[in-house]
Amino acid sequence: MDEAYSESQFPDCIACGEGVLVPLSDFGGHGASVHYKAWVCTNPTCKFNLKIRNGEVYMNEPVVDLRHSARR
């Protein structure tokens, strides 16, 4: 995350009230960057998230922790 941002600039999580929602970006099917594709709560026990996929908004999809899996 850019050092110019701080958690206080992001909205509070509406689910837990303890974390803040931070944006995530991704790349589209043709390699173009997609900014703010998802918003996730910084509270690790909350798991609240909003995602945009093909113009549809999805809320609270399962979150997969890949920290312990091998990289491809």
Nearest to 39 by CA among 27, 57, 56, 54: 57
Answer yes or no: is 70 within a domain. no
Evaluate if residue 1 carries a pLDDT over 60: no
What's the confidence (pLDDT) of residue 15? Answer: 96
Q: Give the pairing of strands 33-41 and 49-53.
A: antiparallel
The predicted model scores a pTM of: 0.69
What's the confidence (pLDDT) of residue 30? Answer: 87
Answer yes or no: is 46 within a domain. yes
User: Per the structure, how many domains does the chain have?
Assistant: 1
Q: Which domain holds residue 47?
A: 7-59
Answer yes or no: is 71 within a domain. no
Answer yes or no: is 53 within a domain. yes
What's the confidence (pLDDT) of residue 27? Answer: 84
Answer yes or no: is 67 within a domain. no
What's the confidence (pLDDT) of residue 59? Answer: 94
Nearest to 35 by CA among 22, 48, 26: 26
Answer yes or no: is 43 within a domain. yes
Answer yes or no: is 1 within a domain. no
Answer yes or no: is 16 within a domain. yes
